[in-house]
Amino acid sequence: MSIRNRLSLGLVPILAVAAMPLRPEQPMKPTLQALLAPWKGPFGGVPPWDQVKSGDFVQAFDLAMADQRKAIKAIVDNPAAPTFENTIAALERSSRMLDRVNILTGVHFSTLKTGDVPRIEAEVNPKLAAFADEITQNAGLFKRIDAVYAGLGKASLTPEQKRLTWLYRTNFVRAGALLDPAQKKRIQEINQELATVNTRFAQNVVAEESELFTVIDSEAGLAGLSADYKAGAARAAEARGLKGKWVINNTRSAMEPFLSYAENRALREKVWRAYVNRGDNGDARDNKANITRILQLRYERARLLGYKSHAHWSVELSMAKTPERAVALMEAVWKPGVAQVKADVAEMQAIVDKEGGAFKLAAWDYRFYAEKLRKAKYDLDLNEVQPYMQLDKLREGMFWAAGKCYGLRFTPVQGLPVQHPDVKVWEVKDAKGAHVALWYFDPFARAGKSSGAWMNEYRTQQRFDGETSPIVSNNSNFTKGAPGEPVLISFDDAQTMFHEFGHALHGMLSNCTYPGVSGTNTARDFVEFPSQINEHFFLTPEVLNTYAVHYKTGKPIPQELVARIKKAAKFNEGFVTMEYLASAVIDMKFHLAGGGPIDPAKFEKEELARLGMPEEIVMRHRPTQFNHIFSSDGYSAGYYAYLWADALTADAWEAFLEGKGPWDAAVAARLKATVLSVGNTVDPADAFRAFRGRDVNTDALMRKRGFLK
């Protein structure tokens, strides 16, 4: 997953453009006004998707930037002594118009990237960097922030106000506020170039996923796959004008089932290579040179800012604090992960040999023979499970679990503007019937939509200048079912849906005053904790027995099948661990490697060989498609965060099990009060300590993964 369109303290808008000549005397077009104006309608206003036109994006950014520039000038020119209210609070207010533009355009850039949208995105991203630097390098503004920070010991402020002040000052310093003019200028140049290269990287990946696909001419090539999967592949072919054939799209949701069940080994290899070589095909969309340049620029910037490496800069405000602590956790899991993979590979190779395969297990065979091994050891075929994995029913299960834990109720809302006909909206209320949030769901893959799954905050909860309720969304890439037929998703996709909904709950249940520290605006190795703990509710008997029902018979999933699922819960954990961990380790090593030119393919191969990476597994995200770390600074030197958060999650889940079980009301209430509602108003380590009563015990992580009995 990833969280997109997150704003950090209002300092760095997602997208912005340099000023252009304005003509305020001319009437503003309604479509331009829709991008800029406070949202209207019910629920405190809703995004006006039906009025937004991409042709207005550039001018909207220009106007919104001018608006924030004017607000910041007023802060700097204020003759009154700096205070929290006239400086920090004023900064929180300053970006409201630009925030709205960012959200409305950002959703187009991630889910509707067709027509002129990619060109506009490439045009405005570098100018965003320039505007962000204009703010953080404003000497007069920083002087006022620094004065408020210096007076924190004497000021009568709330803990949230003090933390927000500290975060503003810290982030300004981290952006170069204390550098000399020449250094500031170079930081500006670096950030603008990074914005250009990051955007090019991401657009190359989207193009590789949209335009590269595998065509299968005969249904025989789909032997082993479910009827539902075959039907989806036929629809995908028809959508591309290839009626009578079958298309395997170059997305994870299409690739993984194919590699797990397709009997044709040559086609498995073809689909696998198309997927793992995204951005690495030696053509105009090859991303290797982009990676080399991104790493050089990040290293130079980190050194200018006084850090040993980009990794040291990136990890500083996380729970890990240093790259060394992140690496230590990864190393602790690496060795048992490799051992488990080797044991599993030996058993899978035995199956190959027994069947007369006469080949050594390769990466494109791993999932296929893992399913055979799962069947042999646990009498479990996940194809048995999929008929019970109806998207709509499982969504209702998510709602039920959120109600059971946190007292939330979900009601469909009709008639609100949406950005695409696939998008549906629900109102969220608490147990007393009071409005809490709006939840938008955009479930299906389409041209111009980034792959994967993620959460957006369209509007962040705050009590600043009045109560503002959150508007959040979840976005997936499921394949649509046939007309009138339910959408069936894989077991893994069901878990991912619960994961992303955990992020949504984090945004919905926020109870903070200031947007800069509200919702999911917290450390990235903490923000994955609420999402990962929500995954656990998927496999509870209450959810499975009621919401995992057969799409034809309506009967609940058989108890003996549930028992087999649970018995096999830790099966293939070696693969899951190493596929992820290889990506996290390479990410960190890239950003600790220094400033010399790096050949990404050579670096990947040599580092993984040195670490003893099993050759039967590739990174979950190979460098040339690793959007988490190369499409923005986002998770750069931070992909370890999922493992760090999983340590928190495993320990936290044991708190439920030590109590009355998954639905222990007291534990859920404590999780909501100490974690889900606090945003970044407290240090994440203190938040976890408040929930658990102590620091995290990583033994729980090893138990969860089956590496510690």
Query: Is residue 281 in some structural domain?
Result: no
Query: Are residues 580 and 688 both part of a single domain?
Result: yes
Domain count, the chain: 4
Residue 337's domain comprises 323-386+571-704
**Is 500 one of the annotated active-site residues of the chain?**
yes
What confidence score (pLDDT) does residue 481 get? 86
Query: Are residues 421 and 556 both part of a single domain?
Result: yes
The H or E element that residue 459 is part of is strand 454-459
Q: Do residues 347 and 575 lie in contact, with contact meaning Cβ atoms separated by under 8 Å?
A: no
CB atoms within 10 A of CB 392: 12
Residue 556 DSSP label:
B
Those residues with Cβ within 8 angstroms of residue 105's Cβ, 6 or more apart along the chain or in another chain? 14, 15, 35, 54, 57, 60, 61, 120
Burial class (CB in 10 A: 0-12, 13-18, 19+), 127: buried
Query: Is residue 262 in some structural domain?
Result: yes
- CATH code at position 374: 1.10.1370.10
Strands 246-249 and 409-413: unpaired
Query: Are residues 527 and 675 both part of a single domain?
Result: no
Give the orientation angle of helix 323-354 with respect to helix 363-378, to 10 degrees. Answer: 70
Residue 410, strand partner residues: 428
What confidence score (pLDDT) does residue 4 get? 44
| Regions in the chain scoring below 50 on pLDDT | 1-24
Query: Is residue 185 in some structural domain?
Result: no
Query: Are residues 563 and 577 both part of a single domain?
Result: no
What confidence score (pLDDT) does residue 709 get? 59
Q: How far, in Å, CA of 57 to CA of 63, rounded?
A: 10
Query: Are residues 442 and 528 both part of a single domain?
Result: yes
Residue 455, strand partner residues: 3, 474
The H or E element that residue 500 is part of is helix 491-508
Query: Are residues 517 and 633 both part of a single domain?
Result: no
CA dihedral (486, 492, 498, 503) in degrees, to 10, reads -130
**Tokens 């045009």, located at residue:** 123
- Supply 309's token pair: 């490496």
Comparing C-alpha atoms, which of 278, 251, 270 is closest to residue 363? 270
Query: Are residues 19 and 167 both part of a single domain?
Result: yes
Give the Cα-Cα-Cα angle 699, 704, 709 (nearest 5 degrees).
Answer: 65
Comparing C-alpha atoms, which of 641, 654, 697 is closest to residue 522? 641
CA 405 to chain centre: 23
Query: Is residue 125 in some structural domain?
Result: yes
Give the orientation angle of helix 57-77 with respect to helix 139-150, to 10 degrees. Answer: 50
- CATH code at position 412: 1.10.1370.40
Query: Are residues 552 and 594 both part of a single domain?
Result: no
Q: How far, in Å, CA of 96 to CA of 88, rounded?
A: 14
For residue 463, give Cα distances in angstroms to 110, 516, 681, 695. Answer: 29, 12, 13, 31
CA dihedral (306, 307, 310, 315) in degrees, to 10, reads -120
Q: Do residues 332 and 581 lie in contact, with contact meaning Cβ atoms separated by under 8 Å?
A: no
Query: Is residue 286 in some structural domain?
Result: no
Query: Is residue 404 in some structural domain?
Result: yes
Say which of 92, 209, 427, 500 is annotated catalytic: 500
Query: Is residue 193 in some structural domain?
Result: no
Q: How far, in Å, CA of 233 to CA of 667, rounded?
A: 44
Which residue, of 540, 567, 594, is where some domain finishes? 567
- Supply 352's token pair: 């190959």
**Tokens 């190979």, located at residue:** 622
Tell me the Cα Rg of the chain.
25
The H or E element that residue 547 is part of is helix 541-547
Query: Are residues 418 and 536 both part of a single domain?
Result: yes
What confidence score (pLDDT) does residue 26 get? 65
Handedness of CA 30, 34, 39, 40 (dihedral sign): positive
Query: Are residues 118 and 254 both part of a single domain?
Result: no
Query: Are residues 368 and 396 both part of a single domain?
Result: no
Handedness of CA 570, 572, 578, 580 (dihedral sign): negative
Query: Is residue 202 in some structural domain?
Result: no
pTM, two decimals, is 0.91
CA 88 to chain centre: 29
Query: Are residues 597 and 684 both part of a single domain?
Result: yes
